[in-house]
Amino acid sequence: MATCVRLTLFCVLTFVARAADDVVATAVAYAKAHPQGDVPASFVATDYQGDLRDLPIGVFDSGVGGLTVLEAIKAHDRHHNLTGEDGADGVPDFAGERFVYFGDQANMPYGNYSAVGRTGFLRELILRDALFLLGRRQASGDKPPVKAIVIACNTATAYGLEDIRAAVKSWGIPIIVIGVVEAGAQGLAETADGAQGGVAVLATVGTCASNAYPKAIAKVTGRPVRQLGSASLAAAIEGDPSVKTPIRDIIRADVGAFLKSAAADGAAPIDTLMLGCTHYPLVADEITAAFAYWREQPAADGRKLYAKLVVPQLKQVNPAAWTAEALWRSLHAAKMMAVAKTTSGDQFYISIPNPQWKGVSLAADGTLAYEYKYGRSEGQIGREDTINVPMTADKLPGATAGLVRDKLPLTWRSLQGAR
């Protein structure tokens, strides 16, 4: 009987592993079968032969949150541009580079797919994002291939980093792949400054479900980690019309519930916040204010229940800055920094629903209907129920545009000049 149980468990685990491998294998085979890059989810194989140094850097996210990572890359200045030595020289480290940004807004938020049992489809979406950056095909003409891919999305990093690296290896192309989770954990370790208290990871529900941050942080430090997963904050920042609650109220309610649970469990005092969603740096001040509010909020008997749970001066770790450093270290080590001066600007793309795709279902506001969006399964890597089009400043929702304009000035300037 025990042998049967072990064999059954072995079969189940083998099936799960095989299913996981199939997502990557399908994407790998599909792209290899289309070396001319003439279909969705493919690239021109010959683009990755020869000198790649002057190709742009690709950055993708499930929406516009990854623009915070792009801003951090553009502003990064920790090295001398001529010698590569440590120390700012007043010139951004990536001043000679250009970028291609993609936000898969039609399919966001990525954090919700795992909650409805669609992890396989999420992984397929993430591989499609990478293939879009690698390829030239998009709805209104050509785009350049890229020499590096930055996964500027915590959920996409958690569920797709190893998939993309495996696919790149199978394709035999020398592409650098960087994810924000590893970089954020490294940043936590390098900037601890003696802090040894609890770390609160603020992220989407999907990122929290993956346990990517606790695992990554455990590799570099033994500090206790507690996660706060929000189901709606990223979408609210994105300007999703289905989210009616104001951003400040979402944050305050999420933080309140988080602290109540932490206090009940006797959690260690929290002294560091990890902004584990790329959207969250846009509302970092509001997040800090919410923790301060609950720290001082008295209960009915006058006691401040969370005064000892939250330190007065919370430290924030923004993985975006550390992603920029990880990107620089990788490109510099591989001798893949740009060498030619370019007058070409950055390019920005965003996905939108494709009403011409057979079977697609749209909501009243023109977005993908919820049941359709979260009812899809993997196995159709070339599907085109969404299409990718140039993103310009005027296509951003008003509130989102204001956040980008006010808090991401370098990216806003680049976005305004995008075609």
Does 7 fall in a domain? no
pTM of the full predicted structure? 0.85
Q: How many domains is the chain built from?
A: 2
Does 227 fall in a domain? yes
Q: Which of 325, 329, 385, 380 is nearest to 360 (CA)?
A: 385
User: Is the backbone of residue 360 left (phi > 0), alpha (psi -120 to 50) or beta?
Assistant: beta
Does 102 fall in a domain? yes
Per-residue confidence (pLDDT) for residue 147, from 0 to 100: 98
Same domain assignment for residues 297 and 206? yes
User: Catalytic amino acids?
Assistant: 153, 277
Does 203 fall in a domain? yes
Does 198 fall in a domain? yes
Same domain assignment for residues 155 and 187? no
> How far is 254 from 205, CA to CA, in rounded Å?
12
Same domain assignment for residues 253 and 276? yes
Same domain assignment for residues 238 and 358? no
Same domain assignment for residues 140 and 64? yes
- Out of 319, 336, 356, pick the residue that ends a domain: 319
φ, ψ at 271 (rounded to 5°): -120, -5
190 SS3 class: helix
Q: Quick one: DSSP state of residue 36? A: B
Same domain assignment for residues 224 and 203? yes
Per-residue confidence (pLDDT) for residue 349, from 0 to 100: 94
Per-residue confidence (pLDDT) for residue 17, from 0 to 100: 38
Per-residue confidence (pLDDT) for residue 50, from 0 to 100: 92
Per-residue confidence (pLDDT) for residue 149, from 0 to 100: 98
Same domain assignment for residues 26 and 130? yes
Does 143 fall in a domain? yes
- What CATH number should be reported for the domain holding residue 65? 3.40.50.1860
DSSP 216-246: HHHHH----EEEEEESSHHHHHHT-TT--S-
Same domain assignment for residues 207 and 268? yes
Per the DSSP assignment, residues forming a β-bridge with 228 are 202
The CB density around residue 180, as the number of other CB atoms within 10 Å, is: 35
Per-residue confidence (pLDDT) for residue 340, from 0 to 100: 82
Same domain assignment for residues 41 and 171? yes
| Mean pLDDT, 10 residues at a time, the chain of 419 residues | 43 38 93 93 95 96 91 95 92 95 92 90 97 85 90 93 96 96 92 84 92 94 93 88 93 96 94 93 94 93 93 93 95 94 84 94 93 94 93 81 90 85
Per the DSSP assignment, residues forming a β-bridge with 99 are 57
Which residue range forms the structural domain that includes residue 369? Answer: 19-179+322-416
Per-residue confidence (pLDDT) for residue 8, from 0 to 100: 43
- Out of 278, 301, 319, pick the residue that ends a domain: 319
Same domain assignment for residues 312 and 330? no
- Beta strand 198-204 with 270-275 is parallel
DSSP 232-285: SHHHHHHT-TT--S-HHHHHHHHHHHHHHHHHHTTPPPEEEEEE-STTGGGGHH
Q: How many helices (H) and strands (E) does the chain have?
A: 14, 12
The CB density around residue 276, as the number of other CB atoms within 10 Å, is: 29
Same domain assignment for residues 195 and 302? yes
Does 3 fall in a domain? no
Does 213 fall in a domain? yes
Same domain assignment for residues 287 and 326? no
- Out of 269, 301, 319, pick the residue that ends a domain: 319
Per-residue confidence (pLDDT) for residue 343, from 0 to 100: 62
Per-residue confidence (pLDDT) for residue 13, from 0 to 100: 34
